[in-house]
Chains A and B, each alone.
Chain A
């Protein structure tokens, strides 16, 4: 059973289809890439999956459980976490507290979920390599690092499914390099990761499988090398008819 299953989801804004019968699956222990030109509907899909937006049709399930109508917080408790393309950090907290508060929130779910927040925070900071800026105000750090803070924050809730919305945008090449290694390690630890990213060298390197979204529809699904050579995908990216 896939960790996350989106089946036949459609979203309409006014007269336009933002998503049209989109079906994707994200498996445990691997990175699933979701790529597509701007405006293809990737962030909309993430909003539907996390419950910030209700689809006009279709189903979302987490670990086989239907969550289409569940509130965002409920989905988080079932193991879902995400980052935001347009950063949604807690700007009056330090980097460390941004991460820590996610653990606080998790501990608010109930006794059975409790973790040692202080210890876990330091572990995640270490894991994501944020030690040098942990004490700083999040508003003062560069975008590239801020995205890693969002990833670190979402890891604090101990998710089983992680949605990353352009985590590498704004990162330097070295940062992206390190980030790719981190993604690999997270996937190896059993996490199901869905990665939306425009940095194709990163996507191609870490993804086991790719979904290509175009005009709100799934254009292609396959391994990276298949996608890279798919004429339809190249056409979608560079424009013009296939």
Chain B
């Protein structure tokens, strides 16, 4: 592995300032380091895809970004300010919305209760519900159902509805596609694309590169705890097959 070529990650669209930035971040669990110096930039208003096989460190990177995992060394910056050590709920309140891997929902709460908890960031309850039910009428039909009993796709809709309604500055999505049928996945990503075009910056970790590359402005490949390639989606795509399926 060569050292990450950080310069490639610099703004691709006319020098927009970075909204989320990782500089030489090392992090891990206990004595075991998982990220060995990650450099990553999400420019304001763009959608960055974080690709690569399992075990590469994508989820850990996102956990660092959302504040659930503390940076061991290096810096995490939001809108230019270093926020190492900020609690996840503080980051959530300044507009970092994170949907964790494997459905970001509370399975034993109803749909409405899930949405209610989304108001923890300061949005009104009515607004959350109307945005969610307008965008996903199926959620409206199931508003009083326990979230854990819905289908996987519906659960993921609910998770994204939170992001839609709370109007975050940065949206962090981890493996939206996990265990979902392709049609559902592409519908979900359409919504994500809309969000991105409305000006929200998005960082998506995804193993299904094809679903996310068309809507991304830039893409990074992670292997063995490092970002090994950053570039335009088309350029990155060519290298993907070998990263996944081996040469």
**Which of B149, B186, B245 contacts A228, CB < 8 Å?**
B245
Q: Which residues of A contact B209 (CB under 8 A)?
A: 238-239
Instruction: Find A37's partner among B102, B207, B240 (CB 8 Å cutoff).
Output: B207
| Residue B3 interfacial (CB < 8 Å) | no
Q: What is the 8 Å Cβ interface bit string for chain A, positions 160-200, against chain B (1 contact, 0 not)?
A: 00000010011011000000000000000000000000111
- Interface 9-residue window, one of B71-79, B120-128, B162-170, B173-181: B173-181
Q: Name the B residues within 8 Å of A142 (CB-CB).
A: 32-33
Decide yes or no: A203 and B246 within 8 Å by CB, A140-B31, A241-B183 being known contacts.
yes
Restricting to A222-242, which residues have a CB under 8 Å from any CB of B? 228, 234-235, 237-241
Question: How many residues in A have their beta carbons less than 8 Å from beta carbons of B?
Answer: 35
Residues of B near A228 (CB, < 8 A) are: 245
Q: Are B182 and A241 in contact (CB under 8 A)?
A: yes
- Cβ contact within 8 Å between A237 and B208: yes
Q: With the chains together, A172 CA to B224 CA distance in Å?
A: 7
C-alpha gap A210/B172 in the complex (Å): 34
Contacts of B207 in A (CB 8 A): 37-38, 237
Q: Tell me whether B53 and A199 are in contact (CB under 8 A).
A: yes
Which residues from chain A contact B212 at a C-beta distance below 8 Å? 239
A235 to B182, CA, bound (A): 9
Query: B152 contacts the other chain (Cβ, under 8 Å)?
Result: yes
Residues in A whose Cβ lies below 8 Å from that of B182: 235, 239-241
**What are the residues of chain A within 8 A of B107 when measuring CB–CB?**
14
Give which listed residue, A170, A172, A238, contacts B240 with CB less than 8 A.
Answer: A238
Residues of A within 8 Å of B151, CB to CB, are: 15-16
Complex CA distance for A173 and B223, rounded to whole angstroms: 11
> Knowing A39-B102, A172-B224 touch, does A238 contact B210 (C-beta < 8 A)?
yes
Given A169-B55, A240-B211, also A14-B149 (CB < 8 A) = yes
Among A15, A172, A202, A238, which residue has its beta carbon within 8 angstroms of that of B244?
A238
User: Is A200 a contact partner of B148 (Cβ separation < 8 A)?
Assistant: no
What's the A-B contact tally at a CB cutoff of 8 Å? 90
Contact of B149 among A15, A234, A235 (CB under 8 A): A15
CB distance from A91 to the nearest CB of B (A): 10
A200 near B244: Cβ-Cβ < 8 Å? yes
The interface bits of chain A over 123-155 (1 if a CB of B lies within 8 angstroms of the residue's CB, else 0) are 000000000000000011011001000000000
Minimal Cβ-Cβ distance residue in B for A229 = B245
Contact between A14 and B179, CB atoms less than 8 A apart:
no
Residues of chain A within 8 A of B247, CB atoms compared:
201
| A215 partner, pick from B31, B175, B179, B210, beta carbons under 8 A | B179
CB distance from A8 to the nearest CB of B (A): 21
Contact of B54 with A by CB under 8 A: yes
A239 touches B177 (CB 8 A): yes
Residue of B nearest to A238 (CB): B210
Closest B residue, CB atoms, query A146: B32
Decide: A198 and B240 in contact? CB cutoff 8 A.
no
Q: Does B185 contact A (CB under 8 A)?
A: yes
User: Contact between B210 and A240 (Cβ–Cβ < 8 Å)?
Assistant: yes
Q: Are B246 and A169 in contact (CB under 8 A)?
A: no
Decide yes or no: A139 and B208 within 8 Å by CB, A169-B54, A170-B55, A172-B224 being known contacts. no
Q: Say whether A38 contacts B245, CB under 8 Å.
A: no
**Chain B residue, CB-CB nearest to A200:** B246
Q: Judge if A115 is at the interface, Cβ distance under 8 Å.
A: no
Complex Cα spacing A198 to B241, Å: 13
Which of chain A's residues have a CB closer than 8 A to the CB of B55?
Answer: 166, 169-170, 198-199
Assembly CA distance A170 to B33 (angstroms): 10
B14 interfacial contact with A, CB 8 Å? no
CB contacts (< 8 Å) of A237 on chain B: these are 207-208, 244-245
Nearest-CB distance from A241 to chain B (Å)? 5
| 27 A-B residue pairs with CB within 8 Å | A15-B151, A16-B152, A37-B177, A37-B208, A40-B179, A139-B31, A142-B33, A143-B32, A172-B224, A173-B224, A198-B54, A199-B55, A200-B53, A202-B246, A204-B245, A215-B181, A237-B208, A238-B210, A238-B211, A238-B240, A238-B241, A239-B177, A239-B208, A239-B211, A240-B208, A240-B210, A241-B183
Contact residues of B with A, CB < 8 Å?
30-34, 53-55, 102, 107, 148-152, 175, 177-179, 181-183, 185-186, 206-212, 224, 240-241, 244-247
Report which A residues bind B (CB closer than 8 A): 14-16, 37-40, 139-140, 142-143, 146, 166, 169-170, 172-173, 198-205, 215-216, 228, 234-235, 237-241
Top 7 A-B pairs, shortest CB-CB distance: A239-B208, A201-B246, A169-B55, A39-B179, A239-B211, A200-B246, A39-B178
